[in-house]
Amino acid sequence: MEQNENGSTTSKEEQEEALVALIEHRTHEVKNFRHRIAYYKTQLEEAEKRLQDSESKLARLRGQSNAVLGKSSLNDGIKIVKTECRSNSPIDRNEGSYKNQNQSKPELLIPSVNPKISQPVLLQRSSAKASINSSSEASPVVHTSPITGSSSRAKSDKSHSHRLSSEQQKVEIKDKGTKRKYDQKEHKELIPLIRKSSSPSLLHCQTSNHISSQHKRKLRSIALCPVNDQLFVTSALDGAVNLWQIQSKGSGASLLSTTDCVSAKHRRWPEDLAWHPEGNNIFSVYSADGGDSQVSVTNLNRGQGGDRVKFLEDKPHVKGIINGIVFMPWENTCFVTGGSDHAVILWSEQDGENKWKPKALHRNLHSSAVMGVAGMQQKQIVLSAGADRRIFGYDVRVGRADFKHQIDSKCMSVLPNPCDFNLFMVQTGTHEKQLRLFDIRLRQTELHAFGWKQESSDSQSALINQAWSPDGLYITSGSADPVIHIFDIRYNSHKPAQSIRAHQKRVFRAMWLQSVPLLISISSDLNIGLHKVY
């Protein structure tokens, strides 16, 4: 027995236990610092590679410039275009801040030799519904052009109604030439911020408006337009895809068109949908059972006739529901589908209108349904999450799996972070740990897990999905309860940073707009929620 500073005695066993605990703590500390050193070494190597690549590009550009100095025809075709950068942060934004953002450096654009003529979407005014908001159902109808911003009030007289039925509304969705301009995003380090704060940074939800979805059955999915932040589409079990336009900075929305997108053979509804990167087409996926059509393309540049929706001929999935479709964030336009047949299919764009060539990336890596697919920004890696509790990262260039995670619960979706290209989130079926964060560079390592308690149901629905905030710091999730859960990845708790009561029934999803501090949610109460957050 020994005497400590307070005069009490401490046994040898207690001293030994204390030292063992201290050694374990310091061992963990050493491992943590070693991990950080390895991490920053990797970051340094990647930064050096990017620097060398930029230097090489500059050298090639200068060489090309010297070669064409004498060619006036090429010089005449070069234009300097300034692009405006918008803030990605959903907080500390106000109405006056959108127009006063930092501008990037001038971008050098060389026109295509044979550019296509821009074709705006033409939608019949007669199909457009009144601008709907929660303030008053009797308010005048306002139709706003996304191009000019001008509006016209609909009167009740017959002559004006006739003009509305004959006019066409133009929506700013354009063809962008033979090859779209690839928009390379900027990488930001967010992983070091995970779990570093003992308190969350709360968002202020100022107002919540609700509009009727105009669907006859429950909503299924929602997608935001990649080229016009004021447009979004919704789909439902009635087989319809509705095109919407945000009005009055998020206080309401107008229904621009409704398209019947049921499958050709068995008239099934779209299970999921995705917007083409150029913004002119909506892609929907269905089921592989009964030889039905698997993918449809809705051309928003065409009228409401039968040629607006085309079905792709190829049917690479062999059975079951096709659970997800997503376009890859790569230079070459392509999308990926994942299905209940365990397969992940890559569809590449071919020459010609609506020509797509499918290729099976893998069919046997998963032993159960593939519930979610996604693409990583910095590498051509396709993420897939399955009901078999497996997460795969498949390297398309190499043609094999780059990594595999095996977790303790079935996976229902996967979603890469928009800013930190190494970070991605997986939705699981574990209560209070529904959301898991992973670093693509670390094997079998979970960075953080958080979730929520469900009051209305014990089951986890694959229809409930998540969305990242534009700055990559927040995640919104629907729930079986009528609330939107918001998670701050910097918060070291497993609980939501805050929850917003948003609907009367379960919330399927809440997505963030880029240019307006607004969340758009869909619910089984058949309403669309518009929630202003700051």
Tell me which of 175-179, 302-306, 495-499 is least confident.
175-179
Tell me which of 174-178, 349-353, 427-431 is least confident.
174-178
Residue 345: what pLDDT? Answer: 98
- The position carrying tokens 């940074």 is 201
Tell me which of 5-19, 60-74, 196-210, 259-273 is least confident.
60-74
How much is the mean pLDDT over the chain? 79
Tell me which of 59-63, 444-448, 494-498 is least confident.
59-63
pLDDT at position 85 over 60: no
Residue 352: what pLDDT? Answer: 66
Neighbouring CB atoms inside 10 A of 148's CB total 9
pLDDT at position 484 over 70: yes
pLDDT at position 118 over 80: no
Mean pLDDT within 133-146: 35
Structural contact between residues 172 and 146, judged by C-beta atoms closer than 8 angstroms? yes
272 or 45: which leads in pLDDT:
272
Residue 390: what pLDDT? Answer: 97
Residue 257: what pLDDT? Answer: 93
175 or 115: which leads in pLDDT:
175
Give the three-class secondary structure for 391: strand
24 or 230: which leads in pLDDT:
230
Q: Please, which pLDDT band fits residue 181 given cuts at 50, 70 and 90?
A: low
Identify which of 124-128, 160-164, 214-218 has the greatest average pLDDT: 214-218
Q: Which two tokens stand for residue 265?
A: 């053979």
- DSSP code at position 196: -
Q: Please, which pLDDT band fits residue 158 given cuts at 50, 70 and 90?
A: very low
In the chain, % of residues over pLDDT 90: 55
39 or 407: which leads in pLDDT:
407
Residue 188: what pLDDT? Answer: 94
Q: Which two tokens stand for residue 335?
A: 């999308």
pLDDT at position 76 over 90: no
The Cα–Cα gap between 357 and 314 comes to: 8
In the chain, % of residues over pLDDT 70: 74
Residue 454: what pLDDT? Answer: 80
336 or 119: which leads in pLDDT:
336
Residue 231: what pLDDT? Answer: 95
Tell me which of 149-163, 175-189, 256-270, 468-482 is least confident.
149-163
Residue 55: what pLDDT? Answer: 85
Residue 215: what pLDDT? Answer: 97
Residue 168: what pLDDT? Answer: 37
Identify which of 54-63, 351-360, 456-465, 467-476 has the greatest average pLDDT: 467-476
Residue 54: what pLDDT? Answer: 87
305 or 444: which leads in pLDDT:
444
Structural contact between residues 374 and 382, judged by C-beta atoms closer than 8 angstroms? yes
Residue 64: what pLDDT? Answer: 65
pLDDT at position 359 over 70: yes
Q: Are strands 483-488 and 498-501 parallel, antiparallel or unpaired?
A: antiparallel
Residue 48: what pLDDT? Answer: 86
CA angle 317, 399, 318 (to 5 degrees): 10
Q: How does pLDDT run across 276-288, given as a tens digit for each residue?
A: 999 999 999 999 9
pTM for the whole structure: 0.69
List alpha helices for 295-391, DSSP H. none
Burial class (CB in 10 A: 0-12, 13-18, 19+), 519: buried
- Taking the CA atoms of residue 503, residue 508, residue 512 and residue 517 in that order, the dihedral angle to the nearest 10 degrees is 0
6 or 209: which leads in pLDDT:
209
pLDDT at position 131 over 50: no
Q: How does pLDDT run across 186-226, given as a tens digit for each residue?
A: 899 999 999 999 999 999 987 789 999 999 999 999 999 99
Mean pLDDT within 104-113: 35
Residue 459: what pLDDT? Answer: 66
b/e per residue 174-212 (b: at least 16 CB within 10 A): bbbbeebeeeeeeebebbeebeeeeebeebebeebbbbe
